[in-house]
Amino acid sequence: MPVPAPDRLTVAVRVKPGAARSRVGGRFDGPHGPALVIAVNAPAVDGRATEAARRALAGALDVRPSAVSLRAGAASRDKLFLIERPGPALPELLRRLRDGSGE
């Protein structure tokens, strides 16, 4: 019997702005503990990298972008995102974080 996913999940993220291509994957041991690495094309200006990371995380979890909100780290590369109803992609996200693997 499958284990139900939590209704809410907080994910620590390390954002790498200005990357050649966007990708979700890899692990960074940051101030919030093990963090998922999200590389984005957007620059770290006026919250653009944060918004790109929020949308990339939503895409990786196969949830609506509105289900992902920033909880902490607006002006930092190390962020905490709150995900409402993480969905079926949660096990893959956790595997990427555990293994430190890329896409």
The number of residues making up the chain comes to: 103
Q: What is the pLDDT of residue 6?
A: 63
Stated pTM of the model: 0.81
Q: Is residue 2 pLDDT above 50, yes or no?
A: no
Regarding the domain with residue range 8-97, which homologous superfamily does it belong to in the CATH classification? YggU-like (3.30.1200.10)
Q: What is the pLDDT of residues 34-84, one digit of tens each?
A: 999 999 999 999 999 999 999 999 988 888 999 999 999 999 999 999 988
56-65 LR contacts (CB < 8 Å, sep 24+): 56/22, 56/23, 56/24, 57/11, 57/13, 57/24, 57/81, 57/83, 59/24, 60/24, 60/89, 60/92, 60/93, 61/86, 61/87, 61/89, 61/90, 61/93, 62/87, 62/88, 62/89, 63/87, 63/89
Residue ranges per structural domain of the chain: 8-97
pLDDT, position 93: 67
Query: Around Cβ 67, how many Cβ atoms within 10 Å?
Result: 16
Identify the pLDDT of residue 3: 45
H or E stretch covering 58: helix 48-61
Is 87 or 62 the better-scoring residue by pLDDT?
62
- Indicate if the pLDDT at residue 18 is higher than 70: yes
